[in-house]
Amino acid sequence: MVNARTYPLWRDLAMREDLPKEALKTVIGALCAPATTPDGFDAQADRWREEVLKAALPALLARTSAKRLRGQLLVQADEKTLAALAADGIVTAADVPAILRHRRVWAGLVSALALHPGQVEAAITLLPRLPGHEVEQVVRDWDPDRYTRTKGAAPAPPVPQELFDAVLEACLTPLAAYLLHPEPEEGWETVSSFLKDWSLELGDNSAWAMLARCPQRWAQLTAHPVFGAAVQHLLLDQAETQAFEDARLRAADPDGEELPADPAPALSEDLLLACLPALCLPELADLPNPQVTARRTLHHIANRVRSNPRLADLAADQLHAAADALVTRGQLLIWAAKQEGDHEFDGRVLRLAEDLALLSANPDHLAGACAQLARLDQPAVVSPTPSRTLIRIIDNTDSDHDRPARLLERHYEHRRVQALSTLAANPHTPHAAVTDVLNGLHPAELAWIAEKAGGPDWFLAAAAAVPVPEDEDDGVVRLLDDDELGKHPDPAAVLQSWLDSPATGEILSRSEVYRAVVKSRYRTLEHLRQIPADEILARHEPEVALKILLDHCGRSTDRWEALAAAMTFDYDDEKITFGQLLDSLDGAPAQARTS
């Protein structure tokens, strides 16, 4: 047993160049043995031992060739130390078997080994043993000192071309294999019908990160016999988006260049033409569950065109045919009633309309998209209760913030009329289909068209010509504070009109309505009874309900226990009103219990 106080001596011995070879085994054994005392393991002394061994490790490994002794030293080092020793050439490919007996492969070790030309091939053989998400790190972390290197220090050598190619191939392989057999993962059968879709699994970040490092090879790679399709998909999905983001970051730098008004595209026309075979996702054409996958695939294609607008002209016939096929196969224009709890319903209808407006030339399909927009619920346009702070902030920036068109945008409720204007801009959309929708729009939506929408002249003229009944206001539910309510002959009736308005059915607006009613001094118990119980008790002024509950439950233990049992209010539970909650307590005896 080595005394803990003698560790510095053993360190100095280990680092002496004139240490006899016969002493190595003893020194290594002393520094590798856990620190103990007659009473057992000594944690503090062992930390000292580890620090001493770490300092002595390079010298010991440089002088030790015996595999068993090197293995004894290597097992003591952490990943960072081993990678640093491999980068210095002290740990070599010959040590890898000993290292892997106790550790898995990690990217830093592969990079460090490959810094030495004679070990590049050995490093490449380790790539299949890396977890898939770590393979790209071999190149990303090739130069770990890039942010800390001092001025004048030698830069890291370039990544060996054979290593770069091997990492690129390893990152592209999963996507290439998926495109050959686009099958769902294990357990897919148990997923809900609305989520049974894997048609968007084409954006592998590692593959794109590698591809982005070699733009000079894109043209060659799009024609690769194995990886060509994967490269085409990645370029269509990522290249323009990445170029814009890079330009935006450069413009945000105080010393960076200004973001150009019309930046050059990342993909040349020749490259776009080379990617056309992948444009409409042919590999995913026969996926099961087409009601979901066809819709999502259509949206994926549309996003590609939005990122690469030149495709609309370069591949017009291809896009039109793909849109027709997906609509037909997925039966996307057959209306299905909105299910309870399906919060994505409106978004799916809006996305479908926008995607068809961009991709389709089929008048029947475009008219069907218009019809689906017409069947969506009317927006709930609410002007919030005046707030001194809010008014002070908004009035300094936008004195017209209370206009219907602006209020419509506050909760993104303008998306329906925005989608309609996009459909109207498609020359293949029947005018009558658009006009039918215009006649059923909310007044604020018509105001939005007048103020905000672009589009053809016939569309703007048709919207302006929609007749408005003389007795109809601008369709905005205007929440008033008590000072304004007091000027009304029947404030309670105004509060009731808020509760009866469509705004209480719209998820983003109803909380504002409930808050305004609960906070008003003109509220009555009848108003409160109509509001969901969790809004009264947990969200808005819970003290308002305190006196009501005290009066209602009184001295009845049963009613208090029933109240405690009823107040769960889980997010997904069916909402009960405050009135239903009170009524549920009436089954309990009202009289007080005596012990």
Q: Which amino acid is at 184?
A: P
Give, for 357, the enclosing helix (H) or strand (E): helix 345-359
Q: Under a CB-based contact definition with an 8 Å cutoff, are residues 336 and 282 in contact?
A: no
Distance CA 213, CA 163 (A): 13
Q: Under a CB-based contact definition with an 8 Å cutoff, are residues 19 and 9 in contact?
A: no
For residue 73, give the nearest of 33, 18, 103, 21 by alpha carbon.
33
- pLDDT value of residue 569: 60
* Tally of CB atoms within 10 A around 12: 12
| Residue-by-residue DSSP string for 211-236 | HHT-GGGHHHHHT-TTTHHHHHHHII
> How would you class 124 by CB atoms within 10 Å of its CB: exposed for 0-12, middle for 13-18, buried for 19 or more?
buried
- pLDDT value of residue 293: 87
For residue 380, give the nearest of 354, 403, 402, 411 by alpha carbon.
411
Distance CA 595, CA 584 (A): 25
Distance CA 176, CA 410 (A): 43
Distance CA 159, CA 137 (A): 12
Q: Under a CB-based contact definition with an 8 Å cutoff, are residues 388 and 320 in contact?
A: no
- pLDDT value of residue 496: 92
Q: Which residues are within 8 A (CB) of 443 and not within 5 positions of it... i.e. 6 or more apart? A: 404, 468, 472, 473, 474, 475
For residue 537, give the nearest of 553, 551, 548, 526 by alpha carbon.
548
In angstroms, the Cα distances linking 175 to 170, 212, 332 are 10, 16, 28
Distance CA 524, CA 495 (A): 9
Distance CA 10, CA 26 (A): 10
Q: Which residues are within 8 A (CB) of 480 and not within 5 positions of it... i.e. 6 or more apart? A: 385, 386, 488, 494, 516
Give the per-residue SS3 of 37-64.
ECCEECHHHHHHHHHHHHHHHHHHHHHC
pLDDT digit string, tens, across residues 28-83: 777 777 776 666 676 777 787 788 788 888 888 888 888 888 998 898 889 999 99
Ranges under pLDDT 50 in the chain: 1, 194-196, 198, 389-397, 572, 589-595
What's the pTM?
0.80
b/e 291-320 (16+ beta carbons within 10 angstroms → b): bbbbbbbbbbbbbbbebbeebeebbeebbb
For residue 159, give the nearest of 168, 147, 170 by alpha carbon.
168
Q: Which amino acid is at 121?
A: E
**DSSP state, residue 538:** I
Q: Which residues are within 8 A (CB) of 19 and not within 5 positions of it... i.e. 6 or more apart? A: 13, 27, 63
Helix residue ranges per DSSP H, 129-226? 137-140, 161-180, 205-212, 218-222
In angstroms, the Cα distances linking 311 to 96, 187, 449 are 50, 37, 28
b/e 340-370 (16+ beta carbons within 10 angstroms → b): eeeeebeebbbbbbbbbbbbbbbeebbbbbb
Backbone angles phi, psi at 386, to 5 degrees: -55, 135
In angstroms, the Cα distances linking 34 to 2, 45, 49, 321 are 9, 9, 8, 72
* Tally of CB atoms within 10 A around 260: 9
Q: Retrieve residue 45's tokens.
A: 């002394």
- pLDDT value of residue 544: 80
Q: Under a CB-based contact definition with an 8 Å cutoff, are residues 80 and 112 in contact?
A: no
Distance CA 187, CA 330 (A): 23
Q: Retrieve residue 371's tokens.
A: 């019809």
**DSSP state, residue 532:** B
SS3 label, residue 36? strand
Give, for 404, the enclosing helix (H) or strand (E): helix 404-410
Q: Retrieve residue 241's tokens.
A: 């988006």
In angstroms, the Cα distances linking 399 to 405, 406, 450 are 14, 11, 19
Give, for 382, the enclosing helix (H) or strand (E): strand 382-383
